[in-house]
Amino acid sequence: MKHSCVKTAIPGPKSAALINEWHQYEYDACGYQASVVWDRGEDCIITDVDGNKFIDWTSGVLVTNVGHCHPKMVKAMQDAVGKLINSYECPTEYRVKAAKALMEVAPKHMGKCFFFSTGAEATEVAMRIMKRRTGKFEILCFETGFHGKTAMAAAAGGLSGPKKGFGPTVPGVIRAIYPSAYRDELGFCDDGPDFKKYFNYLESVIAANSVGSLAGLIIEPYQGSGGFNFPPKGWLKALEKWARAKGILFTLDEVQAGYGRTGTMFACEHEGLTPDLITLGKGIGCGASISAVIGTEDVFHAFGRGEMSSTLGGNPVATSVVPVILDIIKEQKLVENSAKMGEYLKAKLMAMKDRCPKVGDVRGMGLIVGVEFVQDKATKEPATAEMIHAVIDRCAAKGLLVGSVGRYGNVIRVAPPLTVTKELIDESCEIFEEVAKSL
């Protein structure tokens, strides 16, 4: 049975009218998306206002890990909405249960958590904790990293988009290369397990840029917005060792990678990392506006009363879903499914690469796979924006929703909900290959 079904041109008439109306009132500063007005979501399927059905490879930007509108999640939110919508800093049963459930699955060395609303907020807080706890102000960050669009998060990011045109960024950021195999001009990736070349380079970056006030570092276990860049095996552990030797704090940004996306509950499990702080967002609420910072007992002592809370952070509606989502992940074995289906999906896309002249690289871990489009496989010249827009539009016309990321905007993100099945992968890969060959 086919799951996707497109009965109209894209956009369909209702979508076209709504997009037109939208543009009259709200400024469209969104990234390039298929011209589809979403109406309903059910598991891995999105239905638009014209009744077309699409397989979703976006998870609404890696958010809906348990599938769109999971009935148990919907019920939890509906119950909470009927009782209490906001409580600011006053604890609620929802908030207490959420914190308990989160700390039960958190890496064992962690002590406490605190809830916020967005990933960027979690980044800001983690960076402030690192500065306050150490009394220092420099943070090591990475090229092509992304941690959010607020001022300090944007400063920490290594992409120009969130910073361009806004003048000087928050001082104290020191930036180094994030090694990733496909575009590894300096040969950092094939130098394990010690990565001497990389750490010599890193020492020279610090020597040239630090004023002797290094507080910590913030890093993604794989770079999401930067183009699904995966570091070589063992490098993150080596970086953690380096940080420990320097006496600086280590924040792992799992806003995107956490909650089963990479085939383990948290990405830090792959290499047995023990970060001082982990930031979470996206999958923790699967669409509810919630993020969190998890930290060791020691780092949280940097903050006193009233110093971390925000108006909507940890509100009853958002926290109501946290234990429910964790139950769903456990009951439906979604971490295991992510690892298993991820292997299947990646193998299919790897095989496809050889058949498609414009697919330069396929890389991934669990249910996060990046397909990098190029103009020429030998030169690796990135595909143009027009080519990528054509992929997005043509996939939508055939019933598949995809989005793009990366420094050059040429990486298609393949990130369906963790509930995805073989059948859905087969159907969606068929559509994707047809489109990739049509370029």
Ligand X SMILES: Cc1ncc(COP(=O)(O)O)c(C=O)c1O
Does position 342 interact with ligand X (CB under 6 A)? The reply is no
Interaction of residue 253 with ligand X, rule CB under 6 A: yes
Asked if residue 55 lies in contact with residue 44, where contact means CB atoms within 8 angstroms, the answer is yes
Q: According to CB under 6 A, which one of 11, 12, 67, 148 is a site residue for ligand X?
A: 148
33 alpha carbon, distance to own chain's centre: 17
Q: How far is the CB of 339 from ligand X (least distance, A)?
A: 20
- Residue with the CB atom nearest ligand X in the bound state: 119
Stretch of 229-237, 253-261, 362-370, 377-385 contacting ligand X, by CB under 6 A? 253-261
Compute and round to an integer the Cα radius of gyration of the chain: 21
Question: In sequence order, which residues have a C-beta less than 8 Å from that of residue 161 and are 6 or more positions away?
Answer: none
Q: Which residue has the tokens 């509950």?
A: 265
CB distance 94 to 85 below 8 Å: no
Is residue 417 a contact point for ligand X (CB under 6 A)?
no
Residues 422 and 345: their CA atoms lie apart, in Å, by 8
Amino acid at 319: T
3-state secondary structure 413-424: EECCCCCCCHHH
Q: Which residue in 417, 375, 313, 388 sits closest to 70, CA to CA?
A: 417
Q: Which residue, among 432, 436, 404, 419, has the nearest Cα to 224 in the 3D structure?
A: 404
Q: Say if CB 116 and CB 126 are below 8 A apart.
A: no
* Binding flag, residue 283, ligand X (CB under 6 A): no
Helix (H) or strand (E) holding 368: strand 368-373
Residue 325 C-beta: closest distance to ligand X, Å: 16
In the complex, what is the shortest distance from the CB of residue 165 to ligand X, in angstroms, rounded to a whole number? 20
CB of 377 to ligand X, least distance (A): 28
Quick check: 225 binds ligand X (CB under 6 A)? yes
Q: Are 321 and 408 a contacting pair, CB within 8 Å?
A: no
- By CB under 6 A, which span of 118-126, 178-186, 230-238, 352-360 interacts with ligand X? 118-126
**Does the protein bind ligand X through residue 146 (CB under 6 A)?**
yes
Q: How far is the CB of 253 from ligand X (least distance, A)?
A: 5
CB of 118 to ligand X, least distance (A): 4
User: According to the binding rule CB under 6 A, does residue 220 interact with ligand X?
Assistant: yes
CA 170 to chain centroid, in Å, comes to: 23
Q: Does 404 bind ligand X (CB under 6 A)?
A: no
Nearer to ligand X, 15 or 251 (CB): 251
Instruction: Choose between 226 and 399: whose C-beta lies nearer to ligand X.
Output: 226
User: In angstroms, what is the minimal distance from the CB of 159 to ligand X?
Assistant: 11
Q: Give φ, ψ of 128 to 5 degrees.
A: -65, -40
Rule CB under 6 A: which of 311-340 touch ligand X?
none
119 binds ligand X (CB under 6 A): yes
Residue 77 makes contact with ligand X by CB under 6 A: no
Instruction: Catalog residues that contact ligand X under the rule CB under 6 A.
Output: 118-120, 123, 146-148, 220, 224-225, 253, 255-256, 281
